[in-house]
Structure 1
Amino acid sequence: MKDRQDVVPIFIFSLPRSGSTLLQRLISSHPQVGTTGEPWIQLLLLGGLRSGEVYADYDHSIAAEAFSNFFRNFPDGKKTYLNAVNHASKKMYKKASDKPFFVDKTPRYSLICDEIINAFPNSKYIFLWRHPLSVVASISNTWGNGSWNPNRYKSDVYRGLKSLVECYSENEKKSFCLKYENLTSQPEKEIEKLLSYVGLEYDSKKIIENFYNEKGWNKKYNEMGDPTLNSENLRKIVKKGEYEWVKEIKNILRKKWAKKYIKWIGKNRMQAMGYKFEKTCSKIEECNIGTSKFFDDLYANYIKDVLSFFLEPSIIRRKLDKLSKGKKVNRYG
């Protein structure tokens, strides 16, 4: 590989609970690849260009409009800003880890993956998929204490998934596509293909060996990563099948939600991710359901969701926390 004066970003695009931390750790086990936990910096640098639902002390919709007007002063418009983001980000990546490649893994990049590709046209893009119902099941078990609560994460399971599929379809030829289920069942084979795409020469078996020995990985990197990682499973690659989610469809609420969700995703999106629409539908129908978690799910995914829509408890909670500490509370624009 030729010497590089500039760091080459490797972006992992995925939904939360899709194995991105595992993939990040595997890639960073290569001696020429650096990383940190989840930087999130592009959400601030590029996500701010959108006029969507951003709550702040200022009126973000006006700020986004002002941003757009400001770009009109440049001969090449928004491209000037994107180039600046590219340059500044690479300087930070280089400072964070002085290696030729840097892995930036932040699941919420699913919302701005197209903006990232526009700002970093010569980078590497990995689209990591996991069966969408496995994602929902893992989200519920990890952040919902076992209650089925995907409505709490609509920005991920709906907007994020739609954005990822559309972005991958538009950039398929210059991207690398990987299924989490394949990564866990045949890691050496998948890592070998990934290294070839990135342009790195290394023995994939050595990558796995480094992974188990935690070479290239600092535990502090996980401060913003997978909350389930601990000293026991940090060095494990656990094989996961495409239909792990079936055992989580425990009651009629989950079954109805799953059917509706897969219908929304549709055959084309499922196919783009590498999953079978018809087989998924039949697996849902075959699920043996009972009453387990019924009332927990009813509250978490429906009653609580309606209350959250109108009351925005997360915002109220933050304001109350500030007041309890004697801090000033501002109105969100």
Structure 2
Amino acid sequence: MFNESSFFKDVKPLFILGVPRSGTTFLQQVINTHPQILITDELRVVSWIFQEARKLRGGFQENGDPYPFNHGEEFASYLTKNCGTIIAPFYFSKAQKLGKQKILYWGDKYPHYHAILDQMLESFPRGSYIFIYRDLKDVICSVKNGHGWNVEKSANYVCKIYEEYMTSFDKFLQSQEMARDQLICVDYVRLSTNLKQESQKIFDQLNLDLQESTLEEIDQLSGVQSHSLRKEKSSAKKFNFNQSNERWKKELNDEEIELISNKIDNIQHWIDYYYNYLLS
């Protein structure tokens, strides 16, 4: 039976974020191996609630039926303030079905939290956030292939989202709206090449013990294409990290490499910020 007072006292929200195609799916699968964590793969319910709150504030006048004639602002504030209370019982129920009898963290993985991070900090003051960084050249290359975009559109998209994340982290850490220990930072290459050790570091930061059985489960994710595991009935596909790493060198021509290098140079200070401050 769901005990609300005990659950909200002991259990914290945990969100996985990063630029699209930067390894967020792989990270979610690693984190989710722990028996005391349940992280969904892009349920996106938090973003959906905040989106609906905006429409409630605009009401019928801006959004038509079924949005309110009156009290929209008031109910929107209530909804965002209490969204954790609304969402958490779903995670408790799902955890029970998965055999995770006592979770200490619940949350979701979604690359586009950059757009609502300020609202998340307000709605989830006890929340933790795990951000993963991958070489932006590889990210741009992956976005280009995945979306069928040209290099310039892909580079603009990736660099904009990354810059928004970093400026938000810097702002909220300096203002102390986010405590430093609320943000855990991960490097994709380190995680991929030293999976057990880097996973141990993450769970240590979450103050969770790591059993050998969980480490073995984590180890099984090595060499598997993470997106091939996203659907329950899909079969795992092999993944070669060495072929994937620095793929931009193999797939982009000199003109494209120069273009993305110039785009990245414009935000290089935020990459330095990540490695010299956040990841250190």
Question: Which TM class, normalised by the smaller chain length?
Answer: 0.7 to 0.9
Which of 189, 193, 197 matches 1:189?
Answer: 197
For residue 107 of structure 1, give the secondary structure of its aligned residue in structure 2. Answer: coil
Task: Give the Å deviation of 1:237.
Answer: 7.5
Task: Provide the residue aligned with 2:241 in structure 1.
Answer: 238
Distance 1:58 1:195 in 2: 48
Q: Does 1:248 align with 2:248?
A: no
Partner of 1:222: 230
Per-residue CA deviation, residues 40-82 of structure 1 (Å, 9 max, x unaligned), is 112211245569xxxxx9945x99xx89x844x58xx94x433
**1:210 matches 2:213:** no
CA shift for structure 1 position 23: 0.9
User: Aligned residue for 1:97?
Assistant: 95
- Identical columns (%): 21
CA offsets, 1:74-121, max 9 Å, x none?
8xx94x433211211212222332341224111122322232222111
Q: 1:13-54 deviations in whole A, cap 9, x for unaligned?
A: 111111111111111111222233320112211245569xxx
- 1:106 matches 2:107: no
TM-score by length of 2: 0.72
| Cα pair distance change 1:44/1:133, threshold 3 Å | same
Cα offset, 1:223, TM superposition: 3.9
1:83 matched to which residue of 2?
A: 81
Partners of 2:245 and 2:228 in 1: how far apart? 31
CA RMSD, 1 decimal: 3.8
CA displacement 1:201-228 (0-9 Å, x = unmatched): 114x5434113557xxxx997149xxxx
Change (3 A) 1:163 1:48: farther
Q: Determine if contact 2:155/2:260 at 8 Å carries over to the other structure.
A: no
Shift of 1:180: 0.7
**Partner residue in 1 for 2:269:** 268
Matches of 1:143 and 1:111, distance apart in 2: 20
Distance 2:266 2:52 in 1: 28
The partner residue of 2:144 within 118, 130, 140 is 140
**Secondary structure at the residue paired with 2:16?**
strand
CA contact (8 A) 1:139 1:150 kept: no
User: What amino acid is the match of 2:257?
Assistant: K
- Residue 258 (1) aligns with residue 260 (2): yes
Per-residue deviation, 1:4: 5.5
Distance in 2 between the 1:250 and 1:29 partners?
A: 39
Q: Return 5+ residue gaps in structure 2 as ranges.
A: 173-177, 222-226
Q: Contact 1:15 / 1:107 at 8 angstroms: preserved in 2?
A: yes
* Kept after mapping to 2: 8 A contact 1:28/1:103: no
Unaligned runs of 5+ in 1: 52-56, 276-333
Question: SS of the residue aligned with 1:177?
Answer: strand
Which residue does the alignment assign to 2:186? 178
- Give me the whole-angstrom Cα distance separating, in 2, the residues matched to 1:172 and 1:187: 27
Change in 2 beyond 3 A, CA 1:172/1:246: farther
Distance 1:150 1:140 in 2: 9
State the match for 2:224 in structure 1: none
- The amino acid that maps onto 1:9 is P
SS in 2 for 1:31: coil
Confirm or deny: 8 A CA contact 1:137 1:148 kept in the other structure: no
Q: Are residues 183 and 212 of structure 1, via their aligned partners in 2, closer, same or farther at CA, if it must alter by over 3 Å?
A: closer
**Residue identity opposite 1:238 in structure 2:** F
Paired residues in the alignment total: 246
Cα distance between partner residues in 2 of 1:261 and 1:131: 13
Q: TM-score, normalised by structure 1?
A: 0.62
Q: Hey, what's the Cα distance between the residues in 1 that align with 2:20 and 2:140? A: 9
Query: Contact (CA 8 Å) 2:140, 2:158: kept in 1 or not?
Result: yes
Whether 1:8 aligns to 2:16 is no
Distance (Å, rounded) in 2 between the aligned partners of 1:240 and 1:114: 37
Asked whether the equivalents of residues 12 and 104 of structure 1 are also in contact (C-alpha less than 8 Å), the reply is yes
CA distance in 1, matches of 2:197, 2:219: 17
Question: Equivalent residues in 2 for 1:43-58 (5 A)?
Answer: 43-48=47-52
* Offset at residue 243 of structure 1 (A): 4.3
Q: Does residue 169 of structure 2 align to residue 161 of structure 1?
A: no
SS state at 1:46 partner: helix
Separation in 1, partners of 2:132, 2:44? 17
Q: Would you say the 8 A contact 1:35–1:97 is kept in 2?
A: no
Does the 8 Å contact 1:184/1:239 carry over to 2? no
- Max Rg structure: 1
State whether residues 125 and 175 of structure 1, in contact with CA within 8 Å, keep that contact through their aligned partners in structure 2: yes
C-alpha change, 1:26 and 1:245, in structure 2 (3 Å) is: same
